[in-house]
Amino acid sequence: MPELLITIITIAIVVGAIPGVCNYLILLERKLSAWMQDRVGPNRVGPLGLLQPLADGVKLLLKEEVIPPHVDRVLFLIAPGISVFTALLAFAVVPFGPVGVDGAPGFLRFIIAPGIDIGLVFIFAVGSLAVYGIVLGGWASNNKYSALGALRASAQVVSYEIPLGMSVLGIALMSGTVNLEEIMQQQIAGGFAAWNIWFQPLAALLFFTASLAEANRLPFDLAECEQELVGGWHTEYSALKWALFFLGEYTHMITISFLTSILFLGGWHLPGIAEPDSAYPLAWLVKMLVLMGKAFFFICMMIMLRWTIPRFRFDQLMELAWRVMIPLSLANLLMVMFVRHFELSNWWMLPGSAALFAAWGMISASLREAERRARPGYVRRKKVEAHHDGHAAGHAAAH
């Protein structure tokens, strides 16, 4: 089959499947949220509520398209398209199945653009453009809440792109490439013990956390927090335009989940089930399902984090990026360079990551305590507390 035709078919499958998957991820989020909060969730439309996403989609399509008269109409309409386009474009270089595996049918290709040597760089470059959709949407809305949400989003994305990129530099140094297919194949060839999660657990934690911030997921949804900004940058949006923003967000979640699985968990490899020499019938399908299962695990983790961790204040958000994640990602990169330069075993990086995490935790705690002591009124406050404690102790002794 001609290469161009295979590419067109793959694009059609991916572009057609992702919106449907995103619809049912919303249902999954509502069901998981209901389970965590001890309630039922959607259960009226269809058996077990399974047709609820279709009902929501029809409602959004038929809903009146309201465009407020005070907006910049051109930018207002372009912004949702930018969010969706960049999210879908980033998925073009992400393998979603066994790429280059013998025995897979020739007409199946589990990646839109194979052989991209700068695949990881391409994803970061395209993903960084997604903030333009948010910024333009907030600016074009001519609304103070939308403008504040856009400002928060731009500051957040710029800050968290640094640890996001630096966290995977260690993987690039270890693998000698930024091609996602090659990174995955090296882990598969080395077996379960070659998964990068064993050598770079700190990088995996930093990457996943920074990815949440890039996707504006809780606890990093400062750009749209309803308690303060009504809806933030999408306050003035409704109907299909509003839906496009959230299609971009959920597509970004899917991309993050696949990337985390490929970079740190060996891609489609699973010992005893999906091996390089697996030749049983439909082995390619099992390998694809294994990779999708790992991605599904991370999607569920993102959803459950939403109802587990409270939202940060904005100063805490910035402090986490600049004072914790960026120094940790730099220290992790230096550790990888040290191990590679002296040709040590990669297993030295496992205790090294734990030591870095513990050391920076103690340093951060001591810095926070020093800042607290330097605040005006600290000594006076301590004397007042000591006086009250002594008075309470004397009163208790008298009785």
pLDDT digits (tens, 9 = 90+) for 239-269: 888 888 888 888 989 999 999 999 999 989 9
- What pLDDT does residue 103 have? 41
Short-list 305, 174, 341, 149, CA closest to 235? 149
Mean pLDDT of 278-285: 82
Q: Which of 216-220, 278-282, 292-296 has the highest mean pLDDT?
A: 292-296
Are 223 and 134 a contacting pair, CB within 8 Å? yes
From CA 33, how far away is CA 35, in angstroms rounded?
A: 5
- Tens of pLDDT along 134-172? 888 888 888 888 888 888 888 888 888 899 999 999 999
Q: How many CB atoms lie within 10 A of CB 211?
A: 24
Q: Which candidate, 132, 159, 161, 137, places its Cα nearest to that of 148?
A: 137
The pLDDT value given to residue 379: 58
> CB neighbours (10 Å) of residue 299?
21
Lowest mean pLDDT among 67-71, 197-201, 275-279: 275-279
Q: Residue 11: is its pLDDT beyond 50?
A: yes
Compute the distance between CA of residue 320 and CA of residue 163 in angstroms, rounded to an integer. 11
Instruction: Answer whether residue 101 shows pLDDT above 50.
Output: no
Output the average pLDDT for the chain: 85
Task: Tell me the HSE value of 128 on the side-chain side, using a 13 A CA sphere.
Answer: 13
358-388 per-position pLDDT tens digit: 998 888 888 877 877 777 765 565 555 665 6
| Nearest to 255, CA basis, from 22, 69, 31, 9 | 22
Specify burial of residue 366 (Cβ count, 10 A radius: 0-12, 13-18, 19+): exposed
> Regarding predicted confidence, which is higher, 6 or 107?
6
Q: What are phi and psi of 274, to 5 degrees?
A: -125, 95
Nearest to 108 by CA among 255, 254, 9, 4: 9
- CB contact burial 325-334 (16+ within 10 A = b; e otherwise): bbebbebbbe
% the chain with pLDDT above 70: 92
Residue 198 has pLDDT above 90, yes or no: yes
Question: Strand pairing partners for 270?
Answer: 274
Q: Which residue has the higher pLDDT, 251 or 233?
A: 251
Buried b / exposed e over 105-143, threshold 16 CB at 10 Å, is eeeebbbbbbebeebbbbbbebbbebbbbbbbbbbbbeb
pTM, 2 dp = 0.87
Question: What does the pLDDT average to over 38-54?
Answer: 90
DSSP3 helix / strand / coil % (the chain, rounded to 5)? 70, 0, 30
pLDDT of residue 237: 86
Please compute Rg for the chain using Cα positions. Answer: 24
pLDDT (mean) for 80-89:
88
User: Residue 296 has what pLDDT?
Assistant: 94
